[in-house]
């Protein structure tokens, strides 16, 4: 009888301790699981826009290279020259194009202008589309003309980071040095950039009019 009482005395605390341990384990698991689930869900983006965030660590600053198409029609020869001179930078690549609406002598003058410019000849980064395309503006031939210029730049223009399509009436409001400096920290995989400069008085000024 005395032995039974002794067994009962130590079994009761043991059972009580096991019961408390069991409840602690259940409580720990029940409180930990929601946090694990929420952290897993947080890694999976629900909206497409969440994939477009720029990484917090900015890339190493390197000077980018831009590829330009400057195109025009009849009477735009001088405007193309003006825009080309304003946009010119030795690091960039350029294709200029006058469509078939422009007279033959105007197209020939553009070719001769590029050939006569010493800096263009020395650097070799300006090309003229000699076989002009028929372009219906806002039509499919305009897209075809753009793709033609991009193909020339991909084949002959070496490596470049962004392709910019302009008309003869466009004109830059910031220098190419400022533009290249600003884009030097922009991830190269980004496209269709709407950029405003953040350099002194030029802040919030659009690049082209």
pLDDT 10s digits, 142-193: 888 888 889 999 998 888 999 999 999 999 989 999 999 988 888 888 776 5
Cα 147 to Cα 201: distance, rounded to the nearest angstrom: 36
Query: Can you tell me the distance from the alpha carbon of 184 to that of 31, in angstroms, rounded to the nearest whole number?
Result: 47
pLDDT value of residue 190: 79
Residue 29 confidence (pLDDT): 64
pLDDT at 119 over 90: yes
Q: What is the pTM of this model?
A: 0.63
| pLDDT at residue number 136 | 76
What are the tens digits of pLDDT across the range 6-53?
555 666 666 667 767 766 677 666 665 444 444 444 454 444 444 444
Average pLDDT on 76-83 reads 95
Q: Are strands 66-72 and 162-167 parallel, antiparallel or unpaired?
A: parallel
Name the band, by pLDDT with cuts 50, 70 and 90, for residue 202. Answer: very low
DSSP state letter for 137: T
From 153, 154, 161, select the one nearest 188 (Cα to Cα): 161
State residue 57's pLDDT score. Answer: 47
Range in 18-22, 103-107, 116-120 with the lowest mean pLDDT: 18-22
- 47-71: pLDDT as tens digits: 444 444 444 444 456 889 999 999 9
Helices marked H in 44-117: 77-87, 104-116
pLDDT attached to residue 187: 85
Question: How far apart, in whole angstroms, are the C-alpha atoms of residue 112 and residue 148?
Answer: 21
pLDDT on residue 104:
92
Q: Where are the domains of the chain?
A: 2-52, 66-202
């Amino acid at each position: 009888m005395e032995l039974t009482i002794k067994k009962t005395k130590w079994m009761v605390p043991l059972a009580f301790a096991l019961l408390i341990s069991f409840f602690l384990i259940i409580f720990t698991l029940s409180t930990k699981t929601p946090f694990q689930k929420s952290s897993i869900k947080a890694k999976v983006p629900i909206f497409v826009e969440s994939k477009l965030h720029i990484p917090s660590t900015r890339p190493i600053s390197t000077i980018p290279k831009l590829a330009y198409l400057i195109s025009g029609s009849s009477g735009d020869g001088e405007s193309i020259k003006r825009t080309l001179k304003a946009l010119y930078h030795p690091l960039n690549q350029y294709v200029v194009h006058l469509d078939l609406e422009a007279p033959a002598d105007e197209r020939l003058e553009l070719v001769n202008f590029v050939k006569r410019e010493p800096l263009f000849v020395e650097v070799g980064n300006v090309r003229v589309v000699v076989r002009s395309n028929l372009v219906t503006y806002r039509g499919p031939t305009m897209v075809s003309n753009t793709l033609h210029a991009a193909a020339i730049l991909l084949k002959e223009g070496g490596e470049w980071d962004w392709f910019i399509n302009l008309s003869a009436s466009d004109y830059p409001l910031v220098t190419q040095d400022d533009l290249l400096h600003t884009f030097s920290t922009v991830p190269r995989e980004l496209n269709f950039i709407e950029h405003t400069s953040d350099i002194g008085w030029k802040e919030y000024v659009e690049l082209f009019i």
